[in-house]
Chain A
């Protein structure tokens, strides 16, 4: 039984090594990725790509001999050494360049994190099992001899390796999560009933003719904000020459209509209004910002 279980390990390890080798040798973005990895830092910018491709060649070759018959103990030992080397490389990358992409199994820049370590550990354990307990039984023989047991183990290990591969999340995990959102969206409550946040009024202000004129006088971010019927009032510190003044903007609260923004520049010490901007009203009502029963207009 143990020999059968050990015999299927080269299939998993070999497939992963072949996959890793293929990415390094044939990936269109492999050269650019190689320079960004910790391997690139280790080998230097001029040798990063040749070293990366050499590693890929070794991986592809090792993967091929593991998957193809016959099953030799030396192959499993080689795989164990490679997997131990991978684990060591991950540790080095995490230490020296923690934000650099792994470059291990995908052109997608994926930093080294716990899932990468877990995957490398699984592969090391698998190849070590094959080296220690394996005989001359190939993985195909094991599947024929014990189809249920060996097949289940093989499938479980493949699923485990895939689950520990962040490079593949976009192919299965994220689509699953998107599907879940279609069924029941956890943020459905944000679609209505939350009023109009201040940030929305500020965005409207930044697009208004009043801001285009007065923006250069402002010295602060929003000092104060309050609601006045259908308006939101935003005040800012401003400067007119040497004098500190207050800029006050009245922004339509329930509609997106930047052209309707009103503004004044006020000296709060004297009570004087130094400048004002009152737009011409037009019949266009602008876009509603508050959704009550349906999508926003």
Chain B
């Protein structure tokens, strides 16, 4: 805990403190070399990957085991993955989280770098994340009921976390403009083995 506080103080000083930039780092002299966790010219061993094959730097499946910072995952194609999370790995579970919050049974997507031993050194892990087009059928206290291709989905409003974006305007916590009988896009965290989702972001055309 105190390590984290020290780290935050250090990073605060960097972003607010007007620190001296080291080396040839004037604005514009670094061109972004590669895409987000994607085309690393040096690290990506499959620069011309056949799009129809599984991306070796990506894993999906459900967590079947946890060994410290290593997640054992079984994919939907039954492939087994070992995912290493480090201090530089982001973990999303409805909101920014840590690997300690991973549970057996969680659904997982991970992007990183495939190591020589076949494990994935993860840059980013998303737990139970879903992106669904849903139809609002009713609204209750801290809950929105949806239809998803004829199946019922229950969306839980999480105070302090759930936001709505109305046609690209700034995200707000106010969900009252959402209309029964309209379609919305929902980013949320699935509650494993249920038809329930904790709502992170609701995109609506106002």
Contacts and interface: CB of A to CB of B under 8 A. Distances in A.
Touch test A–B (CB under 8 Å): yes
Interface of A: 98-99, 110-113, 169-170, 174, 177-178, 181, 185-192, 194-200, 203-204, 213-226, 228, 231, 233, 235-237, 239-242, 244, 246, 248-250, 256, 262-266, 268, 271-278, 287, 289, 291, 296
Interface string B166-185: 00001111111011110000
Given A219-B36, A223-B88, A276-B19, A199 B126 contact: no
B11 A266 contact: yes
Given A197-B163, A198-B95, A221-B126, A99 B11 contact: no
A28 B165 CA distance: 34
B138 interface: yes
A191 B40 contact: no
Interface in B130-163: 137-144, 149-150, 157, 159-163
Contacts of B7: 224, 268
**Most chain-B CB neighbours within 10 Å: which of A98, A224, A246, A275?**
A275
The binding surface of chain B is classed by DSSP as loop
A199 B32 CA distance: 25
Contact of B30 (A174, A191, A240, A244): A240
Contacts of B25: 265, 273-276
B15 interface: yes
A256 B33 contact: no
A191 B179 CA distance: 15
Contacts of A277: 27
Given A191-B174, A200-B170, A220 B139 contact: no
Nearest to B123: A219
A290 to B, nearest CB: 9
B180 A174 contact: yes
Contacts, number: 206
A222 B90 contact: yes
Interface residues of B, number: 65
**Most chain-B CB neighbours within 10 Å: which of A178, A196, A221, A241?**
A221
Given A264-B14, A289-B172, A198 B32 contact: no
B42 interface: yes
A233 B149 contact: no
A177 B10 contact: no
Given A189-B159, A256-B170, A274-B30, 8 more contacts: A98-B150, A186-B140, A187-B178, A200-B173, A203-B171, A216-B34, A241-B42, A264-B19
B16 A262 contact: yes
A198 B171 CA distance: 10
A169 to B, nearest CB: 8
A99 B89 contact: no
A276 B21 contact: yes
Given A237-B89, A250-B16, A273-B20, A99 B161 contact: no
B170 A289 contact: yes
B32 A190 contact: no
B172 A296 contact: yes
B23 interface: yes
A253 B178 CA distance: 24
A266 B42 CA distance: 21
